[in-house]
Every structure is written in structure tokens, then in C-alpha cells.
Structure 1
Amino acid sequence: MGGGRKRGRTQRRHFKQGRDNVWKHNPQRPPASAAGEGGEGREGNPSWQPFATENPAFEEYYKEQQTIPKEEWDDFMSMLRKPLPATFRINASCQFFQDICSQLENDFRKSLETEVSDEHEEDAIRPLPWYPGNLAWHLNFSRMELRRNQALESFHEFLKQENEVGNITRQEAVSMVPPLFLNVQPDHHILDMCAAPGSKTFQLLEMIHQSTKPGLLPNALVVANDVDVQRCNLLIHQTKRMCTANLIVTNHEAQNFPGCNLAKFCSEMCTDESKLQRLEFDRVLCDVPCSGDGTVRKAPDMWRKWNAGMGNGLHRLQVEIAMRGMGLLNVGGRMVYSTCSMNPVENEAVVAEILRRCGDSVELLDVSNELPELARRPGLTTWKVRDRGSWFGVHEDVPCYRKDVISPSMFPSGKGSKDNRMVSSSVEVNTNVVDADMKDSTDIGEGEQETKIAIDDSNNSDNPNTEGRAKVDCESGEAKDSYKKLDSTSIRTEHSDYPLHRCMRIVPHDQNSGAFFIAVLHKLSPLNENQVVEVIKSEHGNLKDRTEKLEEDLGSGKVSSEETILHQQVVDGTNVLDGEQNGDMDNKSSKDKGSNDSKVIVNEAENGQAGTRDRRRRPQNQGRWRGVDPVIFFKDEVTIRSIVSFYGIKDSFPLEGHLVTRNPDASHVKRIYYVSKSVQDVLDLNIKVGERLKITSLGLKIFERQSSKDGSPCTFRLSSEGLPLLLPYITKQILYASAIDFQHLLQYRTIKFPDFVDAKFGEEASALLPGCCVLVLREGHQDIGSIAMDPSAIAIVCWKGKTNLCVMVSPLDGKELLERISLRFGLEVPKADGPKQEIDGSDEQPDCATETDDQECLPQSKASDMEISDVKEVE
């Protein structure tokens, strides 16, 4: 973990797997075959019981916070107990965008009308009115209904197939909102701080490509970061469907995302103003780890796991991540802070703390005129904090032994008690060092990065012993009377002076969705670093004073060792220099031990052995992040000339400086990637500053090594992902097929030259050099010279053998393309199990199915090992 510093339990423990779909895998749910209409499944399985969609602590908490008016409470709770409708988004930059829109409007929308089951819903499927361009669609069916309703089977298959090839993305509706408020422009550098599983990152990539002319690369850049290496694999799998050269995936703690400032690493500044000298971003998406109680409709197991301590435990981490994002933001830039939680401690309190630390350098924007059809509620200006079964409205009322856990920033004013700047006069003795409100808690946060809290405690928030603990005066060591819990109706409250009503809270019953919180922040000027440092020094100074006093009292026997452990955990959990947020994180905090060491630290922390390990980081060798292959610019002139000559690539296509690989041995390179100019500039900067970015994936796979028995003149074949980018610049090894021959080739995958319908086409194919070639669909009597220059041209990669032509696209992509071709030209859609042609065994027959995701950079876990059906919408 970054910097080698100790962390609180909440920050040390991260999910290593995606969220389990408890609707799908409920062990008490009857088998699909036994669950029919009229409750047949229940009769067949008497032990089956539905999830208990209630939690008294949850209802008490949010009634007290008054996030929902009393007259709406029943509607609110009723909606939370209903399964979440399925939603998806169309990729407007995909090749078949218009075809998909037409199919939804003219085919599925009509055929699904008879399946409407909700009396409140008029349409079975409809576009979301607030999403621009009718690109997002709402279904009147839950994900479980889509899986189990036979009448929806064809539509469900359509969704799965189009999602896997990247034409649509299955994503929760409210999760689509934060990127829309970033106001992304075609030349923006964008940072997604907690990006996994990647649906929002994919949405950002759609935006930058949609704003660029087809066939051209945008000037924009997206850097998608996640703390966990395995979740980075999921992120890579999701974003590879976009086939973009404008993405970099990194693996860092978001709160310690490294700064790349050339001025700090070079004695003289680079004189070339066109070169990037400091890595800053025009837009930052800060979708932080959260308690995730806004997802109860999708993850009903949250009802059982939720408690008030989850939000309290994440607050400090959320502030750190948001402050780091603000430090990386350009002046004039916009940052969106969001969570899928309804808890004001994770929402308004964090936003208020950002404004408090940044002063006049940052403003909270009023975006009420943007997306006017989106139903939203204003943010709260007053709230309370619950700790150990008690409610507190001001930090002064928090017991002194809990003031290090319940920080002033959790309250509306953000101010601590007057004696908080000195040693507290009394400390309550408590051998239970863990918050009782965090018993058996598991944070299922969205943030595209999820944090797991699993803290054992034998007490609960209603334990009567909470009121009966003895208090010890820190000066005399004498016991005092136990304090009484404050009644929530009589506690003091305070209001925030910041315009928090400009924040947005989306509640489920307003538009049949999940819950979400969004705040849009604008950076007006460089952060006042001195002001930020003073705030942090003040907080750390208080902790230091109390630590020294506790150590003295421990030596004199006035307080217990357990209480000192509690205090030390708090100190360790807040030991972050936020004063660096406006600049670059130092070398210590930006280095990473690698995923293996991180796992060891986590395991030791869980086993109570965290203090026995030397956490000082060993310096990393430049460019050698453990477990991740380096990024190398590919400069093998012989290979590049061979590729250019074989495919006749025009000089107008820029290759120099745009080709990278992950293998430092040029003679054994398997894949070559293409990066945009914006990514190239970041890579140049990263090399100059000592490769501080831990890059797990980047670029667009454009060439791949392919061996051949017949000895092809070129050892590298074209990649299907990179073909659309390269197609307008290829002049050799290219064929133009009629719709019927194109369909037959996709259907049978290998056809001998004499067997093509167009005999002339078969002769042209046989005349090509052996090896890789491109097959372009010729529509009608199109002029061949203009087809390849058309960015909407349909083309696939093939292999020309001695006697036949073989397609080199994955079976899934081939199936989807075959259906599109058949529908567009009115051809009969072939059956799935059609006859196959005999193939000459002497020809080189590359197995198309082996063209899988590249995992050179992440050997520890493979995206291909995941069940593809579970990689869909996971937010």
C-alpha cells in the first residue's frame, strides 16, 4: 500500500473479488426449473424464504437524518424492497449504433409490450428521458426476470451479446449520472480515480470518441485507476470492448496517486513547450468507496449487513481521495464527487470538508440547469452522527475517548471542541477497541472500487454496557460516574455555512432507480497549500499531544494498554500529508510494494500481526513495478518497415513514437500496441520522472505475431481491435467481397477459393501473398477506391492460406457481425449449427478463439478466467 504507512482497518482491507450477485446465487432460492408461476417454486422447496428486506437500524438512522420527508417514508421503503429494473446504455461511437437504435424502437419495443407487469409502468422498454440522445434505456424487468422469463429469452440474449462486443453497456441508471456532469470536451485529460469495474470509464471513452469525427483519434485522454490489481483486470476487460488508443489503466491507491512534475526531477525545465511537463487533469471523476446502501435494490444482502459504523469508517478515506483529486485537477477544471450511499457523513460532510480545506480555491457548482429532466433532491445542510448507539449533533458532545474516531469533519460545522487543541481532561476506559456499530459489517460500495469492512466485535450498538462504562480522569486517574446517552430529540445540532443544497441526492422512489449522491466542484485557483497544511498539522498536532499524554498515563498506570492501542490505530489511520495534495506526492508515498506485499500486509493486519512487520518500502528499480511488465516504445526499424511494406501502410499514418510493447526483448515481442498523441506525451513524461505511474494496460492492440508454415513475408498480422483505425491507410493485402460471400465466410469461417459465389473474388484472394489480409464488405456497386476510406466500412481480418481463406475474428464477434450483415441486406439469418467446409490440412489455420485479452502486463490473474456472463453490469 502506498507510502509504507499504517492504515486503519477500513483502508487496509480491499475487495479482491467483484460483488456477488445475491439475487442470482441465493442458496435459499429455489432452482430456476422449480420456480414457476403461482409460487410453484415455494411449494417444491418448503425451506425457501425470501431475503429479509428490513433493518430496524437502517430505518432509525435515516428517519433521524431526515433525508426523506415523513409523508414519503412509506413510498421510499416500499421502493427499496423492490428489485431494481435493468438498464443499459448504447455506445454511440460503435459501428452499428443506428442499427441497434432501430432494432430497439421497431422490434423489441413492440414485441415486449405484452410483458408489462407493473401497473405503474406504461412501457416495457423506454429511453431514460434525462440521458442525452436517447442512448440510455430503462426496462420494466429486473435482472432476475430477464434471466428466468422465457418470453424475454431472445431479448436477454441480445443484451448479453451486444454488451460483450461493446455495442451496449449494462449499467445501473444512477451510475450513469456522474460522468454527464463532468462536461467532457474532446481535448480533455480525464482521471477516473476509483475506476473498477469500469462502466463509468467506458462511458467517458464513449464521450471523447463520440465528439470526434469517425476514423480519427481524439486528443483527449482517460486515465483509469484502481487500487486492486485483480479489479484492474476487470476494468481492463470492460474497457477493451471500446478498442481505444486513448486509455491508460493504472494501479495505485487513489489517495496516493503519484504526481508527475518534471520540474522536480530535472535540473533544467524542458524548453519544448509542446511537451507535457506536469500531469494534471481537466476533469476528475471521484467516485469513492462507500457503504453502498443506495444499492439495496440490486444487492439485497445489504439489508442484513448495513450499520451506521460503515459510513463513519470510510469518511476519512473519502476525504483523502477527494483532496488528492482536487490537487491533481487543473485550475478551471471540474471534479465530480459521488457515492452510491445515502449517508450524509459520506456525502455532504466530505464535500464540506473539501470546501473547508480548499478555501476560496474551490467552489461548489449549482448544476440544477443541467439534465433538467433528472429528478434530484438538494443536499442536506444539517445532519447528525451516530456512534456506539448514541447520536451527536456537534463534535463537543462526543465522549473524549471517541474524539479521535469521530472527527470534527463529520459534522456540519467541521469544528472540534475548544479543548480539542489540548489534552482531554478525561478518557473513558474501554477494552473493546472497535466501534460496536461496525459489528459484522461489510461495505459493498460502488465507486467502481469497493472496500470491505470486516471487524469483529462481541458487542452491538444496543449493548447496555455502553452506558455503564466507567470514566477515568486523565489527571488523577480516579473513576467518575458513567455518562448517559444523549437523547436524539434533545441533542444540540448545527448547520453548515456552505451551499450544500447545490449537491444532488437521487432517491429511489422519484424515478424507480437506485440511490446516489453527486457534487460538482470547480477549481478556481491553485490550492492554498499553506492553509491546507495548517488544517492537517492542527489535526495531527492534537493527536500527537493526546498520544504523548496517553503514553505518560500508561506508564503511570492511569489508563489501560488497550486504550492506547485504540488511539494508535486512529493515529495510524490518519497519517496522510494532505498538505501535498496541491503538488506531487513524495517518493515514499508514490512507491508501491506490489500486490504480493499488499496481500501480506492485509493478512497480517487481519491476524493482528500488523505491528510485527517492518513497513519501510524498498526502493523500486526504475521501470520495474513488481508483477507488471514495463511499457517500452517499439523502435525495431526492420520489423516496422516489414509491416509497412507488406500492408502498404500510407506515410500519412503516424507510427513513430506511437507503437509500444510490454516486452523489453524486441526479438520476442508478441503484441504491438498503438497509443494516441496524448498517451504518448504522458508516457514520455512518466519516463522522465522515473516511471512513477504503475501502468497495467494502455493503448490499442494493432499488430500481433503470427507464425506460418508457408512462411509469410510478414511475421505480424493485423489485430481485429486495431483494424478500424488502420483500415483507411492500408493499400495492400486487401479484398472486397459481396454481401453473400462475406456472409458465407463469417458463417463457415473457412472457404476454399473456388467455392466463393463470386468466382472473380476467389481468383483475387488466391493471388494475394500468403499471410494476413483484410476483407472489406462491398455494398452494392460501391467504388472500391472509396470503400476503405469510409470510416463506417465493415471489414474483418482474414488469413490467406494455400487453398483457402480463413476468418480471424472471435466466434462471438463473428456471430454478432453475421447477424448484422444478414439484417442489413435482408439475407436469411443462418442457423447456429451450420455445415462446415472441408479444410485442407496443409494450410495454416490460426485458431481464432485464441485471440484473447492480453495479460502480459498482469500475469497474476487473468480476465479470461472470469465467467463472462458475470462481467456484465456489476455496478
Structure 2
Amino acid sequence: MGKRSRQRQKNQNAGRDDRDSNAGWGAGYADIVKENKLFEHYYKEQGLVPEGEFEEFMEAMREPLPATIRITGYKSHAKEILHCLKEKYFRDIQELEIDGQKIEAPQPLSWYPDEQAWHTNMSRKIIRKSPLLEKFHQFLISETESGNISRQEAVSMIPPLLLKIEPHHKILDMCAAPGSKTAQLIEMLHSDMEVPFPEGFVIANDVDNKRCYLLVHQAKRLNSPCIMVVNHDASCIPTLQINSDGRKDILFYDRILCDVPCSGDGTMRKNIDVWKKWTTSNSLHLHGLQLRIAVRGVEQLAVGGRMVYSTCSLNPIEDEAVIAALLEKSEGSLELADASADLPGLKWMPGVTSWKLMTKEGQWYSDWSEVPKSRHTQIRPTMFPPKDPEKVANLHLQRCMRILPHHQNTGGFFVAVLVKKAPMPWNKRYPKLRTNPLSSSSAQTGDPSAASSPADASSLLPEGTPEEVEEDGPGGKTEVEAEHEVPPGDSQEAGGKQDSVCGPPPSKKLRLFGYKEDPFVFLTEDDPVFNTIQSFYDLSPSFPKLNVLTRTHEGKKRHLYMVSKELRNVLQNNSERMKVINTGVKVWSRNSDGAEFGCAFRLAQEVTHTHAHT
């Protein structure tokens, strides 16, 4: 891996180490001075906190983050888990006093549906001081491992709720690790317990190969055949293809979660290192990457689809600046949705329309024209707010949502909901014509107007698609059919060298260095291994055996997995485009001792629920 690739991966991991986990349950806070004068000065000047509330805001930032848990909603015994928590554990806790401190009774999050998310002021340190709380702690651990409970920060639960997931949706989670939000998305797909194989699926991506296995762990707890974990740079994640009625279509997603890497200053309550490390240069370094990831996301979004952009940063450079630049580039193809009524009970501040930029040396800039040329490589035009009042009004930036810690005793967070109204303008304007163009997006979007002309049809490929995928493994070098050409004179950076030009960033080449995962191989119709299993387990002739796969071309098959037919379609048509880390649910595992009884495979524990419904 080259130096630039390592730096890009490092940037994409910035501010993401613990953002979905809930440090309040387990973090003993070290003695550290929770002061950063630059931070206070910066946010006072930005005016993001309502007048008269800044001291309360800073006081909340210095307090440990309350612990929160979420009950897995689609599990059939979710009500039993909730009843057990309320009647057995929460009732005892509210009468408890430790070292003169009364333990507050856990309370449901007012904005989370059906009392399935709860918060309290307890930390692991307090839990360990009482035998009763220790039992409660062990209960949480065991239920978390079994997938019945997730320990997740409250604000981290917001983006999946705003996506409004339906069981038929095709979903992309662009920067997914460690995976608590991914788990929420999977749960929402399985909202109907009577349908073990919903039509939709979740593709969860992360740039860091090691962190992808955190995603695998989260997914395995939920035993879903509709999840695939992939390992790509989100800013140039490849365009996938699917087979639709015998022809190749581009896969456009109905829902995309774009929870980008960020400076993480909204996590100071649990990640106390941020107090020492915070500087304004963090957001300047990340803005370009955040915008590239967001652009890549909306390119892959179906017309009519929703994308949620979120950060755990309060900084407008990482928040409204990215959204404003994205909306301007879209020329009306995107619209900020009004999500104000979607989560009743959630307190949030509307997005701002003006902000300033400050260097780490304390120099302020209000407009791109003020920035000296020596700073042009670090500071880009897209970091500043639009100046034209009419243009500002049309962006509706006030529809963005900023969650401040002192309003509901949470972490800091920013979220914006985008709806795609039409294909992105550069896809219509600068298509790269192919001799055998892919079919239109109408099959994906249900909207025949999505590609009403040959130019539209040939430009369905999102910009920035890797023109060439090189792989060290089998298959060698493949050329992706759907290429895209950068129009002459357009910017070669996400921010754009020319303020007036609206065009895509440059195409990037994705090189699959160091990729060593075994390939997924689907069983054939007459595979002798499955014939034995079908006979031994007396499976119905309608059992979807073509959706069963393994991870080896040769030798004995150790495990057999199952995916939904929709994910099978994706896997079969993109095997050389994707770095697949894991997919599906394990159904059978080899047990050589069982051969004497007629079958060398035993049912895997993971599949007991799914198998019972097939």
C-alpha cells in the first residue's frame, strides 16, 4: 500500500474509533483536564449555541456520557427483554445508593419508538460496586452477545431512524465500522418476523480491513442472510451491477447511510483524548474527504432515494459546508428533506447559513477571497458558506439538525437528510458512450423518467467510478464496463479549482492490494454435498439451495452459508469488483463424525431461527 493510500485510510478512520460504542457503560474516566481554550473560543465565535447557554454547553461537555442501550426490535422476544429490564433490574436500581450517590432510574429515550432505547447515569465502575448491579452488568453482556441488546450511544441511533427503512430497500452503509448503526439497519430490514428473507439487503463498507471484522461480529449477532461486509475506500467505492430480466443493470441504492469520518469533537464526553488533540486544522483536513464520500454516495443513490449524511462533529466546516457544496454541485438534483417531525421528542438546533473558518494559529477567514494563495492547498472554496441570499434560501440549510449535548444529556451530533430528485447533472452532461451501454435506472427506481434519453442511459454510472480494478488474486485485471470521463477543464479536486464549474471529481483507480479473502462460491444445482444434506434433513424441494454458498473452490467444504436471492444476484455479478469480507448466515458446518449417520454436516447454531422459517 502506497503512502497516499495509507493516509487516505488513516483519514477515513479519524474520529471513528468509538463513535458507535457506548463508552459510558465501560469507561472509567482518567483524571484529565477537560479544557481547550481554542475549542471554546472557536465555538463561541461560530454562534452555534443559543445565547446564554454556552456555559451550560461546556459543563455538559465535561460530564461523562450517560450510558444507553437499545433493544433489538425485530426479535420475537423483544417485549420479554423489555419487561425483564423494567420489572427486574430497573426497579431495583432506582432504590439503590452507592457511596452516598443515588443511582438514577434508567429512562426511555423519548424520541426512540416503542421504549426500545434507554439511558442512565451509570458507568461500569459504579456497576461493579454492587452485587446487584454486577448481575445487571452480566445480563447486559450476555444479551448483547446473543444479539438481543446493543450498547450504543443515543445520538448514534438517529441516522438509521431518519432513513425510514422498509424491508424491500437496498441499503449501502458507506463508512460502517464498528457497526452499531449497521445492526440497526439490519433490524429494520427484518421488521416483519414472518419473512426470514426480505427483498432488501445491507451492504456495509469500511476502508479499514481490520475494522471490517467488527462489522462481521455485529452482523453475526443478528443472523441475517441479507448482509454483506465489503472493504473499500468509500470515496471511490465501486459501482455494482445486477442481473435484471437477463440484462445487466447498475445497482442503485434506495437508502444510503453516509456517516463520514470526522474530527469527533461531539464525542468529547466519552473520548477524552479529543480535549488535548482538538484543533481547527482537523476539520480542514477532513472536509475534502467528507465531500468526496458524500458525492460518491449520491451518485449511487436511486432517484427518489434518501441519503442521511451525519458526523459526530459540531463543526460547520464538516457539516453545513459539505451539505451546501453537495447541493450546489447537484444543481437541483438533490433536496434537503424536512425531518423535523420524524423524531418527536428529539431536541435539535436548525442548521446555520453563515460560519467562519479559523486556522490553528487563530487566523479567521469569512470568505474565500480573503484566503492568501499560500493557504489555497489547505483551505478550499467549498469550506465557506454561499454569499448569494437567494441561493442560500434555496438550499434550506436550516433543515439540517445539530444535536447539542446539554439539551438532552447526549453527545454532540449533526445529521442531514437528502432526497435525490434526478440523476446528478454531470452524469447527464458528460457521459462516456459505450458500445453496449447498461440499461436505465428505471428498473431500480420505478421511475421511467429517471433515464429518459440515450445520454441519460449511458451516463447512469456514477462519477468517479474506478476505470480499472486490479486484483492480485484469481481473475487478474478486469475493466469495469461502466466508466466515466471527467469533462475537460473540470476540477481535479472535490472542492474544485474553479468556483463556477460544476463537475465531478476525477476518476480514481481502485487497486485491491493485499486482498486475501477466499472467494464465495455458490453450490451448483446437482452438488453432491447438498443432495446428502437435503435428504438427511428432509428439506422441501422448494428449499432455495442455489442461495447456498461456501468459501472454497477446492477441497472439502467446511461451512455452508446462505444469502437472500437478491444478495446472490449482487455476488454473482460483481465477484471481481468487490472485496467481500463476509456475507450471509452460516447454515451448516462440517462434522466428520456425523458421516457415519448419513450426513457430514450439522446445523450451525446461527441458523436455527432462519432454518425454522424456510
Normalising by structure 1, report the TM-score: 0.59
Structure 1 pair 404–345 and aligned structure 2 pair: CA distance change class (3 A): same
Output the CA distance in 1 between the equivalents of 2:247 and 2:99. Answer: 57
CA contact (8 A) 2:23 2:65 kept: no
Q: In the TM superposition, what is the alpha-carbon distance from 1:591 to its structure 2 partner? A: 4.5
- Select the residue among 52, 60, 66 that pairs with 1:79: 60
Give matches, 1:20-99, under 5 Å: 29=30, 50-99=31-80
Tell me which residue corresponds to 1:244: 224
Aligned to 1:222, what secondary structure does the other structure show? strand
Q: Bigger shift: 214-223 or 111-120? A: 111-120
Give matches, 1:216-255, under 5 Å: 216-255=196-235
- Select the residue among 274, 286, 295 that pairs with 1:314: 286
| Residue identity in the other structure for 1:180 | L
Residue 638 in structure 1 maps to residue 528 in structure 2: yes
Q: In the TM superposition, what is the alpha-carbon distance from 1:581 to its structure 2 partner? A: 7.4
Tell me which residue corresponds to 1:694: 579
Tell me which residue corresponds to 1:841: none
Give matches, 1:209-220, under 5 Å: 209-210=190-191, 212-214=192-194, 216-220=196-200
Residue 296 in structure 1 maps to residue 268 in structure 2: yes
Output the CA distance in 2 between the equivalents of 1:92 and 1:514. Answer: 23
- 1:330-389, CA deviations, whole angstroms, 9 ceiling, x for partnerless residues? 000000000000000000000001001111110011111111211111011100001132
CA contact (8 A) 1:526 1:582 kept: no
Structure 1 pair 68–175 and aligned structure 2 pair: CA distance change class (3 A): same
CA contact (8 A) 1:11 1:317 kept: no
Q: In the TM superposition, what is the alpha-carbon distance from 1:703 to its structure 2 partner? A: 0.8
- Select the residue among 538, 552, 562 that pairs with 1:674: 562
Residue 283 in structure 1 maps to residue 263 in structure 2: no
Output the CA distance in 2 between the equivalents of 1:583 and 1:671. Answer: 38
Structure 1 pair 26–305 and aligned structure 2 pair: CA distance change class (3 A): farther
- Select the residue among 81, 84, 88 that pairs with 1:107: 88
Output the CA distance in 1 between the equivalents of 2:518 and 2:290. Answer: 30
Structure 1 pair 121–402 and aligned structure 2 pair: CA distance change class (3 A): farther
Output the CA distance in 1 between the equivalents of 2:470 and 2:308. Answer: 27
Q: In the TM superposition, what is the alpha-carbon distance from 1:498 to its structure 2 partner? A: 2.2
RMSD: 3.2
CA contact (8 A) 1:704 1:717 kept: yes
Residue 175 in structure 1 maps to residue 129 in structure 2: no
Residue 407 in structure 1 maps to residue 389 in structure 2: no
Tell me which residue corresponds to 2:415: 518
Identity %: 41
Aligned to 1:325, what secondary structure does the other structure show? helix
- Select the residue among 549, 566, 573 that pairs with 1:660: 549
CA contact (8 A) 1:118 1:140 kept: no
Question: What is the count of residue pairs matched by the alignment?
Answer: 546
Aligned to 1:668, what secondary structure does the other structure show? coil
Unmatched 5+ residue regions in structure 2? 432-458, 474-507
Structure 1 pair 116–92 and aligned structure 2 pair: CA distance change class (3 A): farther
Tell me which residue corresponds to 2:451: none
Tell me which residue corresponds to 1:424: none
Output the CA distance in 1 between the equivalents of 2:101 and 2:343. Answer: 24
Residue 136 in structure 1 maps to residue 104 in structure 2: no
Residue 585 in structure 1 maps to residue 465 in structure 2: yes
Tell me which residue corresponds to 1:769: none
Q: In the TM superposition, what is the alpha-carbon distance from 1:274 to its structure 2 partner? A: 6.9
Output the CA distance in 2 between the equivalents of 1:343 and 1:121. Answer: 36
Larger radius of gyration: 1
Aligned to 1:141, what secondary structure does the other structure show? coil
Q: In the TM superposition, what is the alpha-carbon distance from 1:584 to its structure 2 partner? A: 6.5
Structure 1 pair 708–326 and aligned structure 2 pair: CA distance change class (3 A): same
CA contact (8 A) 2:236 2:510 kept: no
Give matches, 1:425-824, under 5 Å: 498-529=395-426, 582-583=462-463, 585-588=465-468, 590-591=469-470, 626-635=515-524, 637-655=527-545, 657-665=546-554, 667-687=555-575, 691-708=576-593, 711-728=596-613
Q: In the TM superposition, what is the alpha-carbon distance from 1:141 to its structure 2 partner? A: 1.6
Structure 1 pair 717–727 and aligned structure 2 pair: CA distance change class (3 A): same
Tell me which residue corresponds to 2:449: none
Output the CA distance in 2 between the equivalents of 1:28 and 1:247. Answer: 35
Q: In the TM superposition, what is the alpha-carbon distance from 1:684 to its structure 2 partner? A: 2.5
Tell me which residue corresponds to 2:144: 163
CA contact (8 A) 1:357 1:532 kept: no
Tell me which residue corresponds to 1:350: 322
Q: In the TM superposition, what is the alpha-carbon distance from 1:225 to its structure 2 partner? A: 0.2
Output the CA distance in 1 between the equivalents of 2:248 and 2:421. Answer: 22
Output the CA distance in 2 between the equivalents of 1:512 and 1:348. Answer: 23
Output the CA distance in 2 between the equivalents of 1:25 and 1:93. Answer: 26
CA contact (8 A) 1:705 1:715 kept: yes
Structure 1 pair 582–147 and aligned structure 2 pair: CA distance change class (3 A): farther
CA contact (8 A) 1:408 1:414 kept: no
Structure 1 pair 184–512 and aligned structure 2 pair: CA distance change class (3 A): same
- Select the residue among 188, 194, 206 that pairs with 2:175: 194
Output the CA distance in 2 between the equivalents of 1:206 and 1:278. Answer: 26
Aligned to 2:395, what secondary structure does the other structure show? coil
- 1:305-335, CA deviations, whole angstroms, 9 ceiling, x for partnerless residues? 1111101110000000000000000000000
Output the CA distance in 2 between the equivalents of 1:232 and 1:28. Answer: 28
Tell me which residue corresponds to 2:245: 273
Q: In the TM superposition, what is the alpha-carbon distance from 1:399 to its structure 2 partner? A: 1.2
- Select the residue among 138, 141, 145 that pairs with 2:126: 145
Output the CA distance in 1 between the equivalents of 2:116 and 2:564. Answer: 27
| Residue identity in the other structure for 1:410 | M
Structure 1 pair 148–225 and aligned structure 2 pair: CA distance change class (3 A): farther
Q: In the TM superposition, what is the alpha-carbon distance from 1:653 to its structure 2 partner? A: 2.3
- Select the residue among 304, 314, 336 that pairs with 1:332: 304
Aligned to 2:599, what secondary structure does the other structure show? coil
Output the CA distance in 2 between the equivalents of 1:310 and 1:142. Answer: 30
CA contact (8 A) 2:177 2:214 kept: yes
Q: In the TM superposition, what is the alpha-carbon distance from 1:286 to its structure 2 partner? A: 0.1
Output the CA distance in 1 between the equivalents of 2:470 and 2:407. Answer: 45
Q: In the TM superposition, what is the alpha-carbon distance from 1:140 to its structure 2 partner? A: 2.6
- 1:648-679, CA deviations, whole angstroms, 9 ceiling, x for partnerless residues? 11123221x201111111x4110010010111
Q: In the TM superposition, what is the alpha-carbon distance from 1:628 to its structure 2 partner? A: 1.1
